Amino acid sequence: MRLSQGLLFGSVTLTLLAPYTAAHFRLLEPASWLQESQLGDPQKMAPCGGTSADPGKPTGSVTNIQGGEKLHIRLRETVFHPGFYRIALAVNSRDELPPDPEVKTEPSANGPRSVSAAIHFPPAPPVLADGLFPHTTRFDKELETDVEIPNINCSACTLQIVEFMAAHGLNKDGDYSYHHCAVLQIHANPDKAVDGRFPVEKK
């Protein structure tokens, strides 16, 4: 059964007790497309980080992987805030990436504050994984998982990792999410069927 926009971050009643702060995370693996500070900045603006004041400096890094294989993801949350993570993949344009998670808010003395966000399960392209690492307390270790990469050919796909933050005020650039991306070069495995759920790369 597909649970979509009705499925919300389940521990929200606990997150409302968390002190207000700005969450940050670093993308450690695969290599980030932007140079990141020790906090992971700049990372507010969708779809791939930067801010309106600082778009960031590209690293030029490209990660090669065979289609149909698993890609290792490694993150470090540098400043705590309750929430979860989502991973998506765009083939031809970052315009293919989905909007940030749909957020439910409540009023506060300082303006709207996030309460919860939709988790799409099972995830459907372009989303590869959703609701990852749900948490209401600080992590004491790096976050790691493997996601299956579709069996496609893509010379410069964009892998996007988004962090949704609960109990958080509205950011100028990122609303209630932070963003990092990596550039992937994917080579389809000729022994497997091409994944038709993703668009064909435009030459």
pLDDT exceeds 50 at position 166: yes
Architecture of domain 12-187: Distorted Sandwich (2.70)
Measured distance CA(6)–CA(188) in Å, rounded: 35
**Torsion angles phi and psi, residue 96, rounded to 5:** -75, -15
Q: How many Å from the N-terminal Cα to the C-terminal Cα in the chain? A: 37
pLDDT higher than threshold 70 for residue 4: no
pLDDT score recorded for residue 85: 97
Q: For 15-29, write each residue's pLDDT tens digit.
A: 333 334 446 899 999
pTM of structure = 0.88
Q: What is the pLDDT of residue 180?
A: 97
Q: Is the peptide bond prior to 47 cis by the omega test (within 30 degrees of 0)?
A: yes
The better pLDDT of the pair 87, 2 is held by 87
Q: Is the pLDDT of residue 126 over 80?
A: yes
Give the pLDDT score at 23.
60
Quick: pLDDT tens for 53-93: 999 999 999 999 999 999 999 999 998 889 999 999 999 99
Confidence of residue 39 (pLDDT cuts 50, 70, 90): confident
pLDDT of residue 190 exceeding 70 = yes
Instruction: Please report the pLDDT score of residue 81 as a whole number.
Output: 84
Residues 169-178 have a mean pLDDT of: 91
Chain position carrying tokens 């606990």: 14
More confident residue, 198 or 8: 198
